[in-house]
Amino acid sequence: MGLTIGVDIGGTKIAAGVVDEEGTILETYKVPTPPSADGVTDAICSAVSAVSSHHTIEAVGIGAAGYVDDKRATVLFAPNINWRHEPLKDKVEQRIGLPVVVENDANCAAWGEYRFGAGQGHEDVICITLGTGLGGGIIIGNKLRRGRFGVAAEFGHIRVVPDGLLCGCGSQGCWEQYASGRALVRYARQRAKATPENAALLLALGDGTPEGIEGKHISEAARQGDPVAVDSFRELARWAGAGLADLASLFDPSAFIVGGGVSDEGDLVLDPIRKSFKRWLIGGAWRPHAQVLAARLGGKAGLVGAADLARQG
Amino acid sequence: MGLTIGVDIGGTKIAAGVVDEEGTILETYKVPTPPSADGVTDAICSAVSAVSSHHTIEAVGIGAAGYVDDKRATVLFAPNINWRHEPLKDKVEQRIGLPVVVENDANCAAWGEYRFGAGQGHEDVICITLGTGLGGGIIIGNKLRRGRFGVAAEFGHIRVVPDGLLCGCGSQGCWEQYASGRALVRYARQRAKATPENAALLLALGDGTPEGIEGKHISEAARQGDPVAVDSFRELARWAGAGLADLASLFDPSAFIVGGGVSDEGDLVLDPIRKSFKRWLIGGAWRPHAQVLAARLGGKAGLVGAADLARQG
Amino acid sequence: MGLTIGVDIGGTKIAAGVVDEEGTILETYKVPTPPSADGVTDAICSAVSAVSSHHTIEAVGIGAAGYVDDKRATVLFAPNINWRHEPLKDKVEQRIGLPVVVENDANCAAWGEYRFGAGQGHEDVICITLGTGLGGGIIIGNKLRRGRFGVAAEFGHIRVVPDGLLCGCGSQGCWEQYASGRALVRYARQRAKATPENAALLLALGDGTPEGIEGKHISEAARQGDPVAVDSFRELARWAGAGLADLASLFDPSAFIVGGGVSDEGDLVLDPIRKSFKRWLIGGAWRPHAQVLAARLGGKAGLVGAADLARQG
Amino acid sequence: MGLTIGVDIGGTKIAAGVVDEEGTILETYKVPTPPSADGVTDAICSAVSAVSSHHTIEAVGIGAAGYVDDKRATVLFAPNINWRHEPLKDKVEQRIGLPVVVENDANCAAWGEYRFGAGQGHEDVICITLGTGLGGGIIIGNKLRRGRFGVAAEFGHIRVVPDGLLCGCGSQGCWEQYASGRALVRYARQRAKATPENAALLLALGDGTPEGIEGKHISEAARQGDPVAVDSFRELARWAGAGLADLASLFDPSAFIVGGGVSDEGDLVLDPIRKSFKRWLIGGAWRPHAQVLAARLGGKAGLVGAADLARQG
């Protein structure tokens, strides 16, 4: 019956959308992301007001990058916005007069895919989001599992290489340094620098220098068979698949859903991930294998998931 | 109200025990583990019969090393016994006339600790067992989480070193190659070989050669300050703690319980594990920290847990 | 003018050959390798006698796997034969009445290639031998460099993976565990086990099981495009080339020579090694690149090199 | 008889010194390092003129960070100064009218220690310099070995961790990312951030924050037993010693000399390096061990070595 609003706080814009019980977005509104922490709160409230005027809204779900506490009320730490122990739920509720649920953005996206996307029909599903970094969410027994303190599913920061690459989190060797959009670009630039003769097409798509290579160039060049671009996707897939094999050892879900910008390339990236997953899956001869599925909701998963989580309270 | 039986299948003996609702073992019976797969089934039935004669038993729980299917009926694969897709539940039920639940042995131990040991009062708890290898179990929301196909919580086989040590599972770099009783012995032997002058006490406790060093010697020597023994525990703890930090990123439990023979040393090994855990925990300044607790039930955790899981059906 | 004899002590047979100043082998004689250490010495003397009867011989060079001391007289340690501080030069000289030089077998092969094979014309050349393990030799300034104590150029045992695969030497992560004939077989077996559907041809060449895969099958299957075989060679090349890049940072030779059984495949294996070398070479844009050449003398390099080293005294 | 001048181009100042045949510095002159490449050449000439007025000078040796070609004339690439294929020898000779030899600065320091410092009496010696980065030099058979193209002994850039830390050279996992002054500071900051309670003294010596920790604070705190400082030195030593063990496998020298700012701490850092070296040395029971010696000339090694190399032509 009821409608809820989902809010997605992105690096450049904040989107609010009215979502019905089938996960359909009825109306959306976007504002640029303000630089200040208070400004972000203002913008959230404005965007919610803008879309709520024509509908009867029951609740609001807000997806935020960072640690959200066990009560889904306080942002403990947001890496990009200056929120530290920010009581976001209280602040927004006071201003908009609607019940608010705050949730980690990757959790929202996972929930969106589970409810209305590639995860439908699975009781136990693990989502990973290969965006700039690597995030994810855990559904077990048809419930989103957020951990005792709210900060579970930080997949991007499990250590896959001891003494490995420095990570923005302060640690080293984190999975997202090896399997993410940023990693893909690094792979391509390093290879193009060492062997430019194998990256002619890739370099031509950018400004001719290794540093000018961006993600979109790698996708385009890979589709046309550029050796360095293909090899860069293969390297990404090597790490992504090996990590999924670890997650299978831990969670044993019936499906993995791979989302985020990198997954937009579809089977170009998913097939090598599946191959690597199978290569590294432990005991593969004696167990059913989880499916590795492409996300279906694209960039809307987070907004839709946030709205649905708000509906569920 | 009722009593159930827990069965623990070990490498050298099979133990059955009658357990009440408080987790108290009323009676136990042990038989040597037979070499053949069929012999093991026979022995399980014999042991159950032996302890059930003086009690009214409602159900039997059997803990087995290996993959147990989603119905908790079939052992898909057991590394030590020649069971492949073995319908253990059906076979034993037919012979003893009681409801049977089969479960992975490390899951049983985790459940035992959660119900009657160090995990009491925690809704979300992760247990690891540092025995010869490394096993574990997952409790989330007061339930044992076994995965969609029954083979979750295979902690020992997440890859912590790419291109690392060969593992019996066929993969490389598995956590149990770096954090387990077997790893501890390897650390001590390698170090005693390279720098025997720092392992005088440790070598004296064995037969004088690096190959003669066993786990008990390392514990004894470490308590007396032998540098190689202390350093070997520290190396084990380095890997154990870093792995727990990864599990915290994934599961965010309120407590970790460390069991298995290695944990018998108590704070000698737990303190360095806690230190390493804290060293590698991501975002430690912005989140509540899980406790790292020593298991309390010792070698009985598996039997007690199996019995309790049988009670719950 | 003079002729010398080179002796090559292999795992299955001992070969002695009369070699002239151009590196031409005039006559050879082979005997099976005896199981006992003393038997090996006897066999060396017999083989030398057998080939020396029709020629005037000036000296004998013996290539032995293991550590040979700075005087090229004593085998400090041989991994395969039970020689520990074995005064091989004295023992053989007393029995055959000719000057004897003992040298590490990989050093002999390197010298052979430098003098009469792929290394001719290079003053500074590094040879690696990809056989069962990985050995090598160093020529700098037209001289064989054996180190102060005679045990330099143990390339196979530099650590390329911290906490990596166990090595027969007692250490972990040694290069020869990742770049050698034995590593190639391991790569193929692991991959064939995980993804048999990609190894159909490879499996058919052996006995149908992953364990039945041998080196010759991998070469044959790779030539026919079997995905697992090709991928196994690529993995070997990845590690071999990266290691050569390290050696370039250290030694900066004008050429690398790659010998040993694995190199018999020629460009099938050398081209991916060259590609990986270039990928990992530091500062490649600012320095002349060493050539990566295939060895030319095949299995005779050691014998010819030993004979020539004996000539030079 | 004759006197020569050594020039040391540092990041903040350029030093020229008149050196006699015993390696004694008779007079020095320093100028700030100019920002432009041409300015550096001017400053070199000025400094040489300043010190040469009171002496009869035979030749000038210039130590420069970067790749110097096989003729010791052209700087192929300098990471800090904008020199690319810079004909430094010709330029300086034209202006000062004296024979000039250009050499890599770490090679100069190695030669200085070999001739007049800790390396005296050794024919085969490997020097490593633990400064901000990690450099080194190779002496074999009493000669400096620079490689075929002049760029040997780039110790800092051998890969010790596959997929490891990014290096300024464009590669990953380079030794200098794990064993250098910069690495030491990183170790201390990471640890102080994770466990500030173990770094009380260390933090107090700086500005109270992990980012405020500098190398001098770590040395001071380690001498007073601060756990994080001690552990940071131990971590540095772990990597330094393991790398020396690799160099022993390759070069088998009679001595290693450890110089650079980090080595100023003497046995505080050298003892753990020796311990780690012994731990990782291959075949240690069967071979003579190289000594691990502290450098003796301190910051003057480069200047003295450059002057001596100029004397030798």
pLDDT in tens, A69-115: 999 999 999 988 889 999 999 999 999 999 999 999 999 999 999 99
Mean pLDDT of chain D: 96
More confident residue, D79 or A175: A175
pLDDT over 90, % of chain C: 94
Q: Tell me what the mean pLDDT of segment B207-236 comes to.
A: 96
C187 touches chain B (CB under 8 A): no
Q: Do B190 and C178 touch (CB under 8 A)?
A: no
Of A152, A160, A287, the CB nearest to B250: A152
Structure tokens at C20: 């002239």
Domain(s) of CATH 3.30.420.40: residues in chain A = 3-111+300-312, 122-295
Beta strands in chain A (DSSP E): 3-9, 13-19, 25-32, 57-64, 67-68, 75-77, 84-86, 100-104, 125-130, 134-140, 143-144, 255-259, 291-294
B246 contacts in chain A (CB < 8 Å): 158-159
pLDDT of residue B31: 95
pLDDT of residue B262: 85
pLDDT of residue C11: 86
pLDDT in tens, B121-144: 999 999 999 999 999 999 999 999
HEC assignment per residue over B250-291: HHCCCEEEEECHHHHHCHHHHHHHHHHHHHHCCCHHHCCCCE
B58: pLDDT strictly greater than 90? yes
CATH number assigned to the domain with residue range B121-295, chosen from the 4 options 3.30.420.40, 2.10.10.90, 3.40.50.280, 3.50.50.60: 3.30.420.40
pLDDT in tens, B10-44: 889 999 999 999 999 999 999 999 999 999 999 99
| CATH architecture of residue range(s) C3-111+300-312 | 2-Layer Sandwich (3.30)
pLDDT of residue D136: 97
pLDDT of residue C111: 98
pLDDT in tens, C111-137: 999 999 999 999 999 999 999 999 999
φ/ψ of B71, rounded to 5, equals -90, 0
Nearest to C100 by CA among C1, C2, C6, C23: C6
In degrees to the nearest 10, what's the CA dihedral of C29, C32, C38, C42? Answer: -30
Nearest to D168 by CA among D65, D247, D37, D238: D65
pLDDT of residue A162: 97
Please give the full DSSP string across A133-177, using - where no structure is assigned. SEEEEEEETTEE---SSS----GGGSBSSTTB-B-TTS-BSBGGG
Size of interface A-C (CB pairs under 8 A): 21
**Sequence-ordered list of residues with C-beta below 8 angstroms from that of A123, at least 6 positions apart, any chain:** A139, A140, A141, A142, A254, B148
Q: Do B194 and D281 touch (CB under 8 A)?
A: yes
Domain(s) of CATH 3.30.420.40: residues in chain D = 3-111+300-312, 121-295
pLDDT of residue C2: 86
Mean pLDDT of chain A: 96
By C-alpha distance, the chain D residue nearest A194 is D170
C262: pLDDT strictly greater than 90? no
A279 touches chain C (CB under 8 A): yes
Nearest to D210 by CA among D233, D194, D226, D224: D194
Crossing angle for the helix pair C105-116 and C301-312, to the nearest 10 degrees = 80
Q: Which of B228, B274, B275, B281 should be substituted to probe chain D, the one whose Cβ sees the most D Cβ atoms within 10 Å?
A: B275
pLDDT of residue A54: 87
pLDDT in tens, A118-128: 999 999 999 99
pLDDT of residue C104: 97
B195 contacts in chain D (CB < 8 Å): 275, 278-279
pLDDT of residue D26: 97
* Residue D68 pLDDT class (50, 70, 90 cuts): very high
A1: pLDDT strictly greater than 70? no
B1: pLDDT strictly greater than 80? no
Q: Tell me what the mean pLDDT of segment D210-239 comes to.
A: 96
pLDDT of residue B79: 86
Q: Tell me what the mean pLDDT of segment C26-33 comes to.
A: 96
Contact C206, C217 (CB under 8 A): yes
pLDDT in tens, A36-81: 999 999 999 999 999 998 899 999 999 999 999 999 999 999 988 8
pLDDT in tens, B86-106: 999 999 999 999 999 999 999
B162 contacts in chain D (CB < 8 Å): 162-163
A191 touches chain C (CB under 8 A): yes
C1: pLDDT strictly greater than 60? no
Contact B250, A152 (CB under 8 A): yes
By C-alpha distance, the chain B residue nearest C172 is B165
D169: pLDDT strictly greater than 60? yes
Contact A165, A172 (CB under 8 A): yes
pLDDT of residue D265: 85
Instruction: Give the domain C122-295 fold.
Output: Nucleotidyltransferase; domain 5 (3.30.420)
Query: Partners for A (CB, 8 Å, 3+ pairs)?
Result: B, C, D
Of A163, A170, A190, the CB nearest to D161: A163
pLDDT over 90, % of chain D: 94
Q: Do A195 and C162 touch (CB under 8 A)?
A: no
By C-alpha distance, the chain C residue nearest B177 is C163
pLDDT in tens, C52-76: 988 999 999 999 999 999 999 999 9
Helix (H) or strand (E) holding C6: strand C3-9
pLDDT of residue A79: 86
Give the D window 213-252 contacts with C, CB below 8 Å.
242, 245-247, 249-252
pLDDT in tens, C199-232: 999 999 999 999 999 999 999 999 999 999 999 9
Q: Do A155 and B288 touch (CB under 8 A)?
A: no
Mean pLDDT of chain B: 96
Of A153, A155, A283, the CB nearest to B169: A283
D233: pLDDT strictly greater than 90? yes
Q: Do A278 and C191 touch (CB under 8 A)?
A: no
Helix (H) or strand (E) holding B62: strand B57-64
Distance CA D286, CA D164 (A): 33
